[in-house]
Structure 1
């Protein structure tokens, strides 16, 4: 009698383990199916734009839903590069995005450091304003920013596009969340050694905040590269425009050249795909470390 209970318990354990394993496998398969569907939703427009850019305008007009009609060629890419100032647009977007990344990482990291580790009057009020800035739409700032930069005579310059991106509440929040996770004994040990707060920020906190720096840098680069409304209002000359604004000027309602427009669009978002593919690990690590949702 006493030996039956252990035997029954041993017989039930594999069944429970098998049920748990089947449930985990089913959940993993469901996740794979969902991720595949979302990937296809994103991939189909990209593939369609790529195929359209390789076709001729006549075949697109005659058979728009047939991807193989008329054959494929790179004529649209050579035509778009030779007839549109894509090189200037690329250079403008690259310079603006790079400057925005440098200034945003520098200033937002210092702001996040101060809000996380320093004690000063009104810190909670400043943090509340930063959180409130997360809920403020960008379009609501267009008019006051335009008036401000017009009074400073900065319209039509790179600074009119770089400076607004520096005050990024989400970047301050990312650095604030990361710096709050640094162990307090590490900061106290640096203070006991006589290090100033600037020394602690530059030599202690910033070197170990690479995930947060990578996250803010990548998100700032992508948002600056994709910005459309503000560069459209600020930049007036054709050669000083960015890639999104320049691509919008290619669409002529009376005579739409589908292949050339699609080829220009593909050339426009290829840098973003390259940035994401190269730095995707840093994005995931930064999001996981800082707790960004």
Structure 2
């Protein structure tokens, strides 16, 4: 009697994760619903103050001060925006903000990338001590430096100039540290190959390191630009000339003689934030990709 051999059943392989889609809460419909619900709640919580500010800015002061929890308490009007535009030199302030933010961004990115590359690849004496000082400078609150920086600007005769607004903002120890960590993760073999071909150190930095560092450089530029645009304290301290004021400082000077005007305050804040909102809407994909990939190169 011959026994028939039963074919062995192939073992079921475990399900592989789809590349490019990390599992956060697991597979299936329920985790996706939970994640979507949580993100929706967070988005509403984040957008609620912004929507409240918009609603306040398009009402009259009399309607805003009425009792009640509803954000819409009166007729729709642009009176607050009209008063701000009539009383202030908004086009000049906006131009100053754009100029200062662009100059600060370009100079900061240039200085920070060179300094970070020197810390990452350099072998000069005192490198570790200088790097320690740079990291320690991150913990120094900027408010502590206002008085000595103002004294320096006064000594150099730079008060009420664009240079006084721009130069103290181009030193960014945090950005140097972030870039240095990213440069540490770039394979040195690529640079060695370029040196074998006769490339100088500047050529290696410009043609090898920077092209590989576009995501982190773009993210740093975005952070620096937003910080320079929103900076209120230093431009407020170092400028007295209304023609040199940036947009946040200039809008803060547009005040009414009858106390706090909530509609005008919200309108001023939205006017100052409007360029950043437009920039984000235009370059949303590039901004998100740059910020999302900043941690991939540094170990």
Q: Normalised by the shorter chain, which TM-score bucket?
A: 0.7 to 0.9
The answer to whether residue 211 in structure 2 is matched with residue 207 in structure 1 is yes
Report whether the alignment pairs 1:78 with 2:85. Answer: no
SS of residue matched to 1:62: coil
- Of 47, 50, 75, 1:43 maps to 47
1:115 aligns with 2:135: no
How far 1:28 moved relative to its partner?
4.1
Contact 1:177 1:290 in 2 (8 A): no
Establish whether residue 275 from structure 1 lines up as the match of residue 263 from structure 2: no
8 Å CA contact 2:252, 2:268 repeated in 1: no
Show the counterpart of 2:202. Answer: 198
**2-side partners of 1:21 and 1:70: how far apart?**
45
Any residues of structure 2 matched to 1:199-238 within 5 Å, and which?
199-238=203-242
The Cα of 1:212 is off from its aligned counterpart by 1.6
Query: 2:146 maps to which residue?
Result: 142
- The residue that corresponds to 2:128 in the other structure is 124
Residues 1:262 and 2:270 aligned together:
no
- TM score, norm. by length of structure 2: 0.84
Aligned-pair CA distance for 1:67: 3.5
Q: Which deviations, in whole Å up to 9, do the C-alpha atoms of 1:175-204 show, x marking residues without a partner?
A: 212222222111001111111111111222
Gaps of at least 5 residues in structure 2 are 1-5, 16-22
Contact between 2:251 and 2:268, CA under 8 Å: does it hold in 1?
Answer: yes
The CA deviation string for residues 219-268 of structure 1, in whole angstroms up to 9 with x for no partner, is: 01100111111111111122321122223223457433332332222111
- Give yes or no for the alignment of 1:243 onto 2:247: yes
Shift of 1:22: 8.5
The structure with more helix, counted as a fraction of residues = 1
- Report deviation, 1:58: 2.2
Residues 239-248 or 153-162, more deviating? 239-248
Distance change in 2, residues 1:252/1:73 (3 Å):
closer
Contact kept in structure 1, 2:58 and 2:77, CA below 8 Å: yes
For residues 84-123 of structure 1, what are the structure 2 equivalents within 5 Å? 84-123=88-127
Alpha-carbon spacing, 1:133–1:279, altered in 2? closer, same or farther (3 Å): farther
C-alpha distance in 2, partners of 1:155/1:265? 26
Q: Deviations over 1:109-141 (max 9, x none)?
A: 111111112221111112212211222211121
CA distance in 1 between partners of 2:190 and 2:269 (Å): 49
Q: Describe the shift of the 1:280–1:173 C-alpha distance in structure 2 as closer, same or farther (beyond 3 A).
A: farther
- Counterpart of 2:38 (choices 34, 37, 59) is 34
Alignment length (residue pairs): 283
